Amino acid sequence: MHFHDVWFIAIAVLWAGYFILEGFDFGVGILLPVLGRDETRRRVMINTIGPVWDGNEVWLLTAGGATFAAFPGWYAAMFSAFYLPLLLILVALILRGVAFEYRGKRDSASWRRRWDAAIFGGSLLPAILWGVAFGNVLHGIKLDAAHNYVGNFWDFLNPYSLLGGLATLALFTLDGALFLALKTTGDLRRDARRTARLTGMLAIVAGGGFLAWTELSYRAPGHTGATGAASVALATLAAVALIGAFAANLRGREGSAFGAAAAGIAAATAALFTALYPNVLPSSINAAYNLTVANASSTAKTLALMTVIACIFLPFVLLYQGWTYWVFRKRVTAAPQAQQPEPVSR
């Protein structure tokens, strides 16, 4: 196995981690106007992700940085072609982060309502656009012989990629509902489980349909041996895991349901990257113009140095994030309301 293959796998792992972890806090933000019927419930929902949402975004930064260093040709072509969608995602993430910080700065219902809308929009837009973007990566974009994008924004809105957007929206919303069921108590917990049943059905249909379409139409040419079998097996595993999450939620096994949903997202991401390999960005104009792990990668010496650095520092990052989740593992409950003193009769 070459170093560029190792880093292709590493980037797939980083995206899987990002979709699992950021997926549930996107889901919580999307469900804020649905389950947050009053200020107390909205505050509890935000508190479930308060200690971890910014740490979850580190996975995105690391995935982007690893792509830039390991596959500069892929990074340059993708960020040029997807400039507008990625800009929209960046603006949404910035607005969402500001909303988390500023929501409680003033004791005003209208102030909090505006920032809640920002949290909802800043969660909804990336949840859709990431699926659309990855759908287009599998579908192929209009790259010419110099690996320059010669299409336009409307080329991204094809049926396959739009189904990808619906699939990620459903998966992240399901992930958020299961996380809320795992982290809250009382009526909010029951409502989250009920919501997970509805979003679970949509996630199974949309996610399963997207993976099936990928395997039938957009798997890289020549995937008929072990790689093709692995891609089909991972897609099947993702579907089974999502069905398992749905069944576990019906039985009230919240931890198992959330774990199965996370496994489903990880398996689906692995299936997509396996279907893509050895391409990293196919050209819909001519297969000869495809960007692959070989022609888009850095030198072997650069990749070897990156591998050594990653092996040294990555365990510390994972241990720190794991410790954060362990510290904040308990359920979040609403603070008891202070009782008003009874009036004194005169």
What residue ranges do the domains of the chain occupy? 3-158+169-188+276-327
| Percentage above 90 pLDDT, the chain | 77
Query: Kindly report the CA angle at 340 between 335 and 341, in degrees rounded to 5?
Result: 140
Is the pLDDT at 344 greater than 90? The verdict is: no
State the pLDDT at residue 321.
87
Global pTM reads 0.91
Assess contact for 255 and 310: CB atoms under 8 A.
Answer: no
Assess contact for 116 and 103: CB atoms under 8 A.
Answer: yes
Is the pLDDT at 222 greater than 70? The verdict is: no
Report the DSSP pairing between strands 279-281 and 291-292. Answer: antiparallel
In the chain, what's the furthest Cα-to-Cα distance?
A: 92
| Cis status, amide bond into 278, omega within 30 of 0 | yes
Taking the alpha carbons of 4, 229, 262, 34 in that order, is the dihedral positive or negative? positive
> What are the structure tokens assigned to 212, written together?
């099936």
State the pLDDT at residue 346.
37
State the pLDDT at residue 221.
62
At which residue do the structure tokens 């899987």 appear? 16
Is the pLDDT at 76 greater than 60? The verdict is: yes
- pLDDT category at 337 given cuts 50, 70, 90 is very low
pLDDT tens digits, 296-333: 999 999 999 999 999 998 888 889 889 988 998 889 88
State the pLDDT at residue 100.
92
**Angstrom distance (rounded) from CA 267 to CA 230:** 11
Rg (C-alpha) for the chain, rounded Å, is: 22
Is the pLDDT at 215 greater than 50? The verdict is: yes
Taking phi over 0 as left and psi of -120 to 50 as alpha, with beta for the rest, 83 belongs to alpha
Any idea which of 96-100, 155-159, 169-173, 218-222 has the lowest mean pLDDT? Answer: 218-222
Any idea which of 89-93, 214-218, 265-269, 336-340 has the lowest mean pLDDT? Answer: 336-340
Please compute the mean of the pLDDT values over residues 253-263 and round it to a whole number.
95
- pLDDT category at 341 given cuts 50, 70, 90 is very low
- pLDDT category at 225 given cuts 50, 70, 90 is low
pLDDT tens digits, 264-300: 999 999 999 999 999 999 999 998 999 999 999 999 9
pLDDT tens digits, 79-125: 899 999 999 999 999 999 999 999 988 888 899 999 999 999 999 99
Bridge partners of 291?
281
State the pLDDT at residue 335.
56
